[in-house]
Each structure stands twice: as structure tokens, then as C-alpha cells.
Amino acid sequence: MMHTVHTVIAGLVVFGIVVFVHEMGHYLAARWRGVQVDVFSIGFGPVLTSWQDRVGTKWQISLLPLGGYVKLHGFENRPDAPAEEGDENAFNRKSVLSRALVTVAGPVFNFLLTIILFAVLLSCFGKPEAKPDIGSLAPNGAASRAGLKLGDEITKLDGHRILSIGDIQAQVAAHPGAVMQVSVMREGKELELPVTLDRLTQDGHEVGRLGVGFMLKHGAPLPVYKAIPAAFGQTWDMCANMLEGIWQIVSGQRSAKQLSGTIGIIHMSGQAVDYGMASAIGFVALLSLNLGLINLFPVPMLDGGHLLFYGCEAILGRPLSERTQGYALQFGLLLVVALFVFSTVNDLRGLGVFHWLFAHRG
């Protein structure tokens, strides 16, 4: 019980750090562009504590620590709305460029946090590289029965290029008992072997298991002048991998059951903290990168959706009609809520909640 509480608290702290950095990006950009910030909140719901600074911003900590927000004065109003007295510092009175800069600053700060943390990891701990080369085989496991050998490099699963070790683990876990075509490089030749995945009960639900261990290579710590450009490169590579993974889910090439929501993220954050400082830093970096990248998607309700509106306004010379924006925002809200519900169900299933509920009925 105490370990579970510790995991949840650690996960909430990690999640809170990433959200705080995102909202701080919006806040600082708003101050730079002369926009009044009415509220800076960590969490949602009833306010636990609050204070007001000298420029009139109310800082608050709320009961539900599952995100946060910055409330900009005049954000809800259209740029062509009638001006009111004292609105010179309102968001809707600023130029398209200023509004776009304030909006994009949140994701940009997430990217900067990722780069900084990757640079810290590379300069302090080096770069541990888990290679998709088989370093061990479980006796009579799925891989061993199928003829995979030590030293084989896994290149594809069911014909799709793998993105990382985590990608292999996620795809295998999502298909317990399935027959998966595993492509490997062996002595310079590519082979494709059908592997019937094992079934393993974990936290009350079944997951697939390949029965292999991967080789891990520890790199030497890099000097700072090398760690910084390497961190930029690693951030770029991770962005490309994430986008490819999302596309494979959207196009049906892999199961959407791999999507995690807030509960799953908090659970994984707590586990990462348990594994030590390097693991915790790496997870915060990846979580920050995810938040920044996803927020740039051109979906109304997200930062990317607002940037799309501002782009249309800049091209047309006027904001989109209130009706058009209203329909777009309703669609965006519906999509975000649907994804939230779907990912939450995935999280609860992954944690074995449904199995526990049905097992205790009656």
C-alpha cells in the first residue's frame, strides 16, 4: 500500500513539473508581449491556496493535480469584438503574431526542457543504448521455440520497422498468444520467423511475451559542448519516432491499446522514479516532449488548433467566423474527450482494474 502511495505521489510530481513548464512558457511569453495574465493555476477544481503578485496575476494550487492552466485576460473574446475600457493588455487586442507567440511558447518550453534534460543525462550518465540485439533467451520461451538465436537483431514486427526497444515491448505485450512475424538480421542476412507469443498474467490481465533480453551498451559521459548538440539530435530523433508511432496507430498498423492517458502516465512516472535518478530524468524528458509535440497538432482545443486559427486570420486578414470557430471547437472538444476516455479505459485495463471489478462481483 505504501509503495502504491509513493508511486502515485512521485507520478503526480513528475506530471506537475512538465505541466508547470508548459504553462510557464505561456505566462512568460504573455508578459513579454504585454498581455495581462489573470490566473496561473497548477491543478483544477477547488482552490487550496492562492496569492496575488504585484502585476495582478493570481497564482493558485488547486485540488486536482492533473494539469494546469494560464488564464489570459481577453482570451475568450474575438479580436473583432468591441473594445472596452482597460482592454489594452487583453489577449484579443494583440496582433496575430503576438497571439501566436504566446500560444506556441508552451510547447517550445516543453521542447527546451527535453533538450536540457537530455543534455544533463548525456553529460552526467552517458547514453545507455539498448540495442534490439538478443542478449538472452528464456528457456522454452516463444523466441527460443521459434528458432531465434543470441545475437539476432530484431528489425521488424509483422512487417513494420521497429522504432525502439520500448516499441518491441509494447507491440508484443498488446498481442498475447498471437502469431507474430519477427524479422531479424543474422550474419548479414534478414530472416523472417513466425513466433507464437506466450501469455503472461500481469497485474490481473494477460500480456504477450517474447522471451528475450536485449543487449545494453553504456556510453561514456559526454563533455557539455558535445552533450548539448547530441541532446538536440536525440530530441529530433524522438520526435520522428513518436510521429511515426502515432501514424502507425492512426493507419491501423498497430493496436490503439498502446495509447496511455493521464492515469497511465502518472503510474509510469512513479515507476521511473523508483528506478533511479537517470530513469526519472529520462522519463520527464520524454513526457515533456510528448506534451509539447501533441499540443502542436492542429486540433481545436489544443495549442496547434489555435495556431491554425491565427494562420487563417493572417491569410484572410480577418478572424474566421464565430460560427466556423464554434463548430471547430466543438469537434475538437469531442475528439479530446473521446481520446481521454479511450486512453483512460486503456490505463484501467492495463492496471487490472476491470479484472479486479469483475472478479469481485457478487
- Same domain flag for 115 and 133: no
Q: Across 134-148, 247-261, 284-298, which has the greatest mean pLDDT?
A: 284-298
In this structure, are strands 37-52 and 198-202 parallel, antiparallel, or unpaired? unpaired
Q: Which of 194, 218, 242 is the last residue of a domain?
A: 218
- Same domain flag for 142 and 118: no
User: pLDDT at position 356, please?
Assistant: 41
User: Which range, of 79-83, 161-165, 177-181, 304-308, averages the lowest pLDDT?
Assistant: 79-83
Residue 249 covered by a domain: no
- Same domain flag for 135 and 70: no
- Among candidate residues 191, 190, 196, the one with its CA nearest the CA of residue 177: 196
- Same domain flag for 95 and 167: no
User: pLDDT at position 49, please?
Assistant: 92
pLDDT tens by residue, 107-131: 999 999 999 999 998 898 877 666 7
Residue 273 covered by a domain: no
Q: How many domains does the chain have?
A: 2
- Same domain flag for 147 and 106: no
- Same domain flag for 110 and 169: no
- Positions annotated as catalytic residues are 23
CATH of the domain at 154: 2.30.42.10
Q: Which of 218, 241, 275 is the last residue of a domain?
A: 218
Q: Which of 176, 202, 218 is the last residue of a domain?
A: 218
- Same domain flag for 10 and 96: yes
Q: Which residues pair with 28 in a beta bridge?
A: none
User: pLDDT at position 72, please?
Assistant: 93
Interval 167-171 mean pLDDT: 81
How many other CB atoms are there within 10 angstroms of residue 360's CB atom?
7
- Same domain flag for 10 and 53: yes
Interval 90-111 mean pLDDT: 94
Q: Which residues pair with 61 in a beta bridge?
A: 42, 49
User: pLDDT at position 342, please?
Assistant: 66
pLDDT at 273 over 90: no
Residue 250 covered by a domain: no
- Same domain flag for 156 and 179: yes
- Same domain flag for 62 and 134: no
pLDDT at 350 over 60: no
User: pLDDT at position 108, please?
Assistant: 96
pLDDT at 349 over 90: no
Residue 38 covered by a domain: yes
- Same domain flag for 35 and 111: yes
Residue 265 covered by a domain: no
pLDDT at 8 over 80: no
Percent of the chain with pLDDT over 90: 23
For residue 344, what are the domain limits? Answer: 2-122+287-359
pLDDT at 63 over 50: yes
pLDDT at 348 over 80: no
Residue 163 covered by a domain: yes
Residue 114 covered by a domain: yes
pLDDT at 100 over 50: yes
- Same domain flag for 293 and 328: yes
Interval 326-347 mean pLDDT: 76
Q: Where are the beta strands (DSSP E) in the chain?
A: 37-52, 58-72, 128-137, 153-157, 160-161, 179-186, 189-196, 198-202, 205-209, 212-218
User: pLDDT at position 178, please?
Assistant: 87
Q: CA 272, CA 284: separation in Å to the nearest integer?
A: 9
Residue 100 covered by a domain: yes
